[in-house]
Amino acid sequence: MTILVTGGAGFIGSNYVLDWLAQSDETVVNLDKLSYAGNLQNLASLKDDSRHVFVKGDIGDATLVPALLAQYQPRAVVNFAAESHVDRSIHGPGEFVQNNIVGTYQLLESVRAYWAALPAPAKADFRFLHVSTDEVYGSLGKSDPAFTESNTYEPNSPYSASKAASDHLVRAWHHTYGLPVLTTNCSNNYGPYHFPEKLIPLVIVNALAGKTLPVYGDGQQIRDWLYVKDHCSAIRRVLEGGKPGETYNVGGWNEKANLDIVRTICGLLDSLQPRADGKPYADQIAFVTDRPGHDRRYAIDARKIERELGWKPAESFDTGIAKTVAWYLGNQDWVANVQSGGYRDWVQTQYGGQSTPTAATA
């Protein structure tokens, strides 16, 4: 038995692959094009593990993807592949349209052709799970109820608009062609291997380097925070028991303002690795001009996945953020390699000068 994971060298995808193989002997074929945030060093522990087959490639490759499906005959495809940074989407929306919309369309077409040709039992059991975001629902007022699966889509950034479009394509391929799809819309993830351009890893890394801790606007933008390993367990549960055609919101039940997140991290660092001058890390906080179209609040109502599939997060924010800060303190080499671009050199070193390890184990 095999599953195909796309985007499995990114933050959430690599955590999912590691988590899957820690609990199962089922082979993972990992397709990732290794864009700037794709980091095979996240999967270094699997380098000699035959259960993990890494292939460098694009979900939009209409030759490669069908060939992989034919060769490995996966029982499921889990699609993490996406451009995911709002700021980058504001400055360069074209890449988000191409990768998140056109790429998803081409992946769906490749998977649909594969699925249609499967024998009846395998066809009935097959699943395509699409991993999306709560940002497709738009922004909430302070007292508005949390997002449910029936909320209208109202995306406000090029990133969220591209993810909303991909969600609509997945839904349409189910209703039009019968493809057995599942969609998950998650809240803000955090945890190990998070590329340090996002809020939590950026604050940790900048604090330790003595740099400014930038906070957009007044810092009162509210998000629901989900520990990445909880997200991985939710996806496994949806893949196992979710009803084809359904959407499941995945949240951590942890609504926090950005400024409170920054102050919490500063407090943990004050305890675990105090500044040499004895001053609090919070002294490094600086408020910067808010970004265009910055959504004020996201909140996930995750009662459906708990009610129907029995899933709920194992971590509170306090336990999850403590684990996250400890991980970054204990993995400074990983951080340095990401910041310097050395993680790309690591691939070349590990694969004997082969910079594109197509169909190699990783």
pLDDT at 248 over 70: yes
Q: Which of 8-22, 113-127, 191-205 has the lowest mean pLDDT?
A: 191-205
Catalogue all structural domains in the chain, each as residue range(s) with its CATH number: 2-190+228-254+297-315+341-361 (3.40.50.720)
pLDDT at position 344: 59
* Residues 272-296, mean pLDDT to the nearest whole number: 93
> Binning pLDDT at 50, 70 and 90, where does residue 337 land?
confident
Task: Answer for the pair 244, 126: CB distance below 8 angstroms, yes or no.
Answer: no
pLDDT at 361 over 50: no
> Binning pLDDT at 50, 70 and 90, where does residue 348 land?
low
Cα-based torsion angle of the residue sequence 230, 233, 235, 236 in order, rounded to the nearest 10 degrees: 180
Q: For a pLDDT cut of 90, what percent of the chain falls above it?
A: 85
What's the token pair of residue 128?
């395509």
pLDDT at 307 over 70: yes
pLDDT, one tens digit per residue, over 170-219 is 999 999 999 999 999 999 999 999 988 789 999 999 999 999 999 999 99
pLDDT at position 180: 98
> Chain-wide mean pLDDT for the chain?
93
| Active-site residue list | 134-135, 159
Q: Which of 83-97, 154-168, 220-234, 295-309 has the lowest mean pLDDT?
A: 83-97
What pTM does this model have? 0.92
pLDDT, one tens digit per residue, over 46-66 is 999 999 999 999 999 999 999
pLDDT, one tens digit per residue, over 129-148 is 999 999 999 999 989 999 99
